[in-house]
Structure 1
Amino acid sequence: MCEPAYFDVVYAINPWMDTAVRPDPRAALAEWKYLHDVFVDLGHQVELIEPRPGLLDMVFAANAAVVRDGAVLVANFRVGQRRAEAAAYHDWFAARGWTKLSQAKCVNEGQGDFLSVGGRVVAGSGFRSEPAGGDEVADYFGCPVVKVSLTDPRFYHLDTAFAVLDETTVMYYPGAFTPQSRELLREQFPDAIIATEPDAVDFGLNAVSDGRHVVLSARAGRLRAVLREAGYEPIGVDVTELLKGGGGVRCCTLDLGDPVAG
């Protein structure tokens, strides 16, 4: 995770950002700290990267890399405002001895668009990451990749419309995907939890699960009830200020290991 020391909205690179509605720095820090402490209280180890001046979106650590089986493929950001983050995260991994470490050649926005589900990766494209990024991820990690396309600009990264709950179960909002992708998701995940548009707009799908606890936006009350009924333990976290930058719980969290460990 990366503390939002420099988080601000002075440009708009997704539909959630409005330069006339800037975040309150203290409130944003408090939201992030609460999320950090939730993970710690659940028994997870949280590593921190030092925020760098001028990198306003560095708090959204999920976009920094794809990490799987001890290997790291650092992001290659589409938008210029975020490209310098790649070097910061590459340096962080290198300094900690991660040896299989490279930067993506294709446009690839990390775990924002590439999410591990058991032995495979679901790869999203349409607004940020390139479709060819899925092939690069498959080659680099030696795993099967399921490619899907996003069609609603509000859900510009896969992790705003699709969440991994455990090694076999996911939840997603069908309206964020093309018809072909919806059919593919139905085939791949027949037991998925299907979210509504309000669930997605409330950033309920921008969630982190350890297979039992699901940490998600406090706004997504209906989805929390559905998760509870399905046997999970949902934990709501306020992300009001962070959402002004287009990010929530999952956006702030780069998973360094097994996506359902814990």
Structure 2
Amino acid sequence: MSPTTAPVREATPRHYLMCRPTYFDVTYAINPWMDPGKPVDPELAVEQWEQLRRLYLEHGHTVDLIEPVDGLPDMVFAANGATVVDDRVLVARFRHAERAAEAPAYYAWFMLQGYDDVHHAEYVNEAEGDYMVLGDTVLAGTGFRTDPRAHTELEEVLGRRVVTLNLVDPRFYHLDTALAVLSDTEVMYYPGAFSPQSLAALRELYPGAVLVDEADADVFGLNAVSDGLHVFLPDTATGLARTLRERGFEPVGVDLSELLKAGGSVKCCTLEIRHRAEA
């Protein structure tokens, strides 16, 4: 697709929930990116995170904040806290004990905000880490974190069609490291992260998808957030940024290198709250 044939894009205001990395650190290893032996600069992590929050606000999005909890260094990765569709909330159930206490914190936040359809998860699911919502479909990852039985639970609670995708490369342990939603009908993904069956399903569902190479995937280029026009992504994913421009998107580069030390970037920091459409 050339720039002259790229469709006209339009940004849609979004509602995000984020958590300031006040207590961010790498004190344990639950994914291949984490190394407790490498130093972390907490002040730089906050500065980089604040840049992302400012960019969302400057582009017209609403950003709510959940209070960070001392002793939960990964709580900054708000995408893992819950999945919200039509104001219905399915709170995560974390696989690793180190993050388990984040779930009650997110449950309490939604209750305090007045949401009246909030559900505790029965099966392990790491929310938008493994659940990508687009249109009336949820692409649901499994293989490293989320229990495949959780996909049926999500379908029942949130009322959306679920397509299961199996991840096979431990570097891409969550779906949001291997695939990103660009619009209600478009995705981008790294083919090497998926099983042959899941790759075939993606090719059938999204024949025009943006295919991302290993170099851009390896710098977490797919851990991105799109508002339909602007795509917020790591500034090191330069090849992907060029491709997105050719498709009519406007890439917005962000430096979250400190948070990448824990295996997270733009999308990991961003939980989208999808409201019920008014009649």
TM-score, normalised to structure 2, is 0.92
1:180-195 counterparts in 2 under 5 A?
A: 180-195=197-212
- Write the deviation string for residues 203-238 of structure 1: whole angstroms up to 9, x where unpaired: 110000000000000110000000001000000000
Aligned AA (2:32)? P
Instruction: Answer yes or no: is the 8 Å Cα contact 1:22–1:244 preserved in 2.
Output: no
Quote the offset at 1:167 in angstroms. Answer: 0.5
Quote the offset at 1:257 in angstroms. Answer: 1.6
1:39 aligns with 2:56: yes
The residue number in structure 2 matching 1:230 is 247
The residue number in structure 1 matching 2:141 is 124
The residue number in structure 1 matching 2:65 is 48
In structure 2, C-alpha distance between the alignment counterparts of 1:116 and 1:251, rounded to whole Å: 14
SS in 1 for 2:272: coil
Pick one of 175, 178, 181 that aligns with 2:192.
175
Aligned AA (2:45)? A
In structure 1, C-alpha distance between the alignment counterparts of 2:123 and 2:217, rounded to whole Å: 27
Quote the offset at 1:133 in angstroms. Answer: 1.1
The residue number in structure 2 matching 1:71 is 88
Aligned AA (1:19)? P
1:208 aligns with 2:225: yes
CA RMSD, 1 decimal: 0.7
SS in 2 for 1:148: strand
Pick one of 128, 149, 159 that aligns with 2:166.
149
SS in 1 for 2:268: coil
Quote the offset at 1:239 in angstroms. Answer: 1.1
Higher relative contact order (CA 8 A, sep 6+): 2
The residue number in structure 2 matching 1:9 is 26
1:109 aligns with 2:126: yes
| Structure 2: stretches of 5+ with no match in the other structure | 1-17
In structure 2, C-alpha distance between the alignment counterparts of 1:127 and 1:23, rounded to whole Å: 25
Instruction: Answer yes or no: is the 8 Å Cα contact 1:128–1:156 preserved in 2.
Output: yes
TM-score, normalised to structure 1, is 0.97
1:220 aligns with 2:232: no
Aligned AA (2:182)? L
Instruction: Answer yes or no: is the 8 Å Cα contact 1:217–1:236 preserved in 2.
Output: yes
Aligned AA (1:17)? M
Where does structure 1 differ by over 6 angstroms across 4 or more consecutive aligned residues?
Answer: none
In structure 1, C-alpha distance between the alignment counterparts of 2:112 and 2:201, rounded to whole Å: 39
% of aligned pairs identical? 54
Aligned AA (2:42)? P
Quote the offset at 1:117 in angstroms. Answer: 1.0
1:257 aligns with 2:270: no
Tell me how many residue pairs correspond in the alignment.
258
| Structure 1: stretches of 5+ with no match in the other structure | none
Quote the offset at 1:20 in angstroms. Answer: 1.1
- Write the deviation string for residues 135-162 of structure 1: whole angstroms up to 9, x where unpaired: 1111111111010000000000000000
Aligned AA (1:87)? P
Quote the offset at 1:22 in angstroms. Answer: 2.7
Instruction: Answer yes or no: is the 8 Å Cα contact 1:9–1:17 preserved in 2.
Output: yes
SS in 1 for 2:111: helix
The residue number in structure 1 matching 2:78 is 61
